[in-house]
Amino acid sequence: MAINFKKSYRFAVKSALYITIFSASLIAGLLYYFAEINLPFIFIFSISLFVFSFFVLQYRVEHFIYRRVKKIYDDVSLLESASLRNKPITTDMATLTREVQKFARDKKIEIETLKVREEYRREFMGNVSHELKTPLFTVQGYLLTLLDGAMNDKVLRKKYMQRAEKGVERLIYIVQDLDMISKFELGDLNLNYTKFNIIEVVQNVFDMLEMKADKKGIILMFDMKYLKPIMVYADRDKIQQVVTNLVVNSIKYGKEDGTTEVSIEDLVNNKAIVRVKDNGEGIEQQHIPRLFERFYRVDKSGARTEGGSGLGLAIVKHIIEGHDEKMYVESKFGEGSEFSFTLEKTK
């Protein structure tokens, strides 16, 4: 650490000058009162006193004040403050006060952030526990029933084995999504950019989810007939997963005999925006900022009966942000929701 003593020099010079003026005036007054005024004597005395005072004061500043200021820096360095540790030590009290105040503000923000993260961690662990516990206990219950004697009944055996299989499938689904989102958060997205027709991708998703939508009487549709392909530049598989997750959500929370409508519009700067809109129950405004958190559910009681891992929207967010694109949500409670994201267009 370098030492900055410029202001301490000024302090020593001024202090020495005050001492010299006072002492020289006192000597001159005494000589005038008791004897003759000797100007050479007064001059030599003043210079000697000034030099002596300057060095004494500067020494005291360097070895007395500096040691105490350095202790403050050392104490702060124990808290691993890179902003203070890498700066030169200053004995200027105003500068030191500003630096310590800034350090205190930064630490306060850091502590508040840690509190938020700790609260999120507790909530996340509780959600993971609940999501895994429900299918595990379900599977365990059916297996124990079979072991207790239901195994001999062919009808019950098949029925309970099928239900246990559904529980295992949900466990696998949750674990796979957890593994996927963990990789995304570690930056292991591995995007494979290609040119593809986004209309074709959406149609593939519609074909894949048609039976699921039919169970609730929901119609999967485009907002219009797209006669020409709309080519985009992105990872086709990842974007298909995004569209799938959004359409699945629209089916899951859509009202019976409703619709899920997808539209693709041109934006400025060679961008396209894909909108997935439903006329379901909608989302209250206080829930929207947290929709993309892992395991966050708007309906804490009934949402789990619809299945899913609770990670769909979190995965969507990571994929879109991995493409350096934007995700948007608009919803009106009781009328429906619209999720949209941007993509780079190409010829």
Domain covering 101-186: architecture: Orthogonal Bundle (1.10)
How is residue 274 written in tokens?
């894909």
Q: What are phi and psi of 262, to 5 degrees?
A: -115, 135
Give the three-class secondary structure for 238: helix
Amino acid at 269: N
Looking at per-residue pLDDT, the higher value among 20 and 214 belongs to: 214
Q: Where are the domains of the chain?
A: 5-75, 101-186, 193-344
Q: How many CB atoms lie within 10 A of CB 241?
A: 17
Could you tell me the fold of the domain covering 193-344?
A: Heat Shock Protein 90 (3.30.565)
pLDDT tens for each residue of 193-207? 999 999 999 999 999
Closest CA to 171 of 137, 141, 142, 213: 137
Continuous segment of H or E residues that includes residue 12: helix 6-34
Q: For residue range 6-30, what is the model confidence (pLDDT) as tens digits?
A: 555 776 777 778 888 888 887 777 7
Domains 101-186 and 193-344 share a fold: no
Q: What is the pLDDT at residue 198?
A: 93
Give 315's pLDDT tier (boundaries 50, 70, 90).
confident
CA–CA separation, 224 and 139 (whole Å):
45
Better pLDDT: 221 or 284: 221
DSSP-H helix ranges across 148-216:
154-185, 198-214
